[in-house]
Amino acid sequence: SIEEAHHTLLPLLGPGAATAFALALLCSGLSSSTVGTMAGQVIIEGFLDIRFSIFLRRLLTMVPALGVIAWGLDPLKILILSQVALSFCLPFALVPLVLFTRRRDLMGALVNRRLTTAAAWLITVVVLALNSLLLFQTFGGRF
């Protein structure tokens, strides 16, 4: 479990393992929250022309986490579920991103090169294949 993860670091870091793990986890959480909040703000303000107060943005970011804590849900299970949800949302961002960044009329001098576009399509196909495999295995399929 995530609560016991610091024990894995004990042989490497000694008694400071718990502190090092807690600090790393805190930094990871803060950076991901910041990136998520800023990305959401840019998308909402840029594409939808809607402005939210900083208080409301922070509230929208923190309420789901506080709900997990308040309901006593297993943080590791929630973390895994959030990553699964993210993996299924990723293609909806990747496909338009690859399509738009290969167009010189949109990107100008910052247009992706063919090799970059090919690598991006390969990554997109791999993500879609892994998502399909996850669905197949989840609903009883076997290899």
Tokens of 17: 């393992």
- Record the pTM: 0.58
- 123: amino acid identity, one letter: I
Could you tell me which of 55, 27, 30 has the C-alpha nearest to residue 41? 55
Confidence (pLDDT) at 129: 93
Percent of the chain with pLDDT over 90: 24
- 114: amino acid identity, one letter: R
Distance CA 34, CA 20 (A): 21
Average confidence score pLDDT of the chain: 83
Q: Which of 10-24, 35-49, 67-81, 97-111 reaches the highest mean pLDDT?
A: 97-111
CB 56 within 8 A of CB 49: no
Is residue 5 pLDDT above 80, yes or no? no
Is residue 45 pLDDT above 80, yes or no? no
Confidence (pLDDT) at 109: 94
**116: pLDDT confidence band, cut at 50, 70 and 90?**
very high
Distance CA 95, CA 128 (A): 11
Q: Domain boundaries in the chain?
A: 1-73, 74-143
Per residue in 71-105, pLDDT (tens digit) is: 888 877 887 888 888 888 888 889 999 999 999 99
- The count of other CB atoms within 10 Å of the CB of residue 73 is 12
Lowest average pLDDT, out of 36-45, 60-69, 88-97, goes to 36-45
**Sign of the CA dihedral with 117 first, then 32, 16, and 72 last:** negative
Distance CA 42, CA 48 (A): 10
Confidence (pLDDT) at 55: 84
Q: In a 3-state reduction of DSSP, which class is residue 51?
A: coil
Confidence (pLDDT) at 78: 82
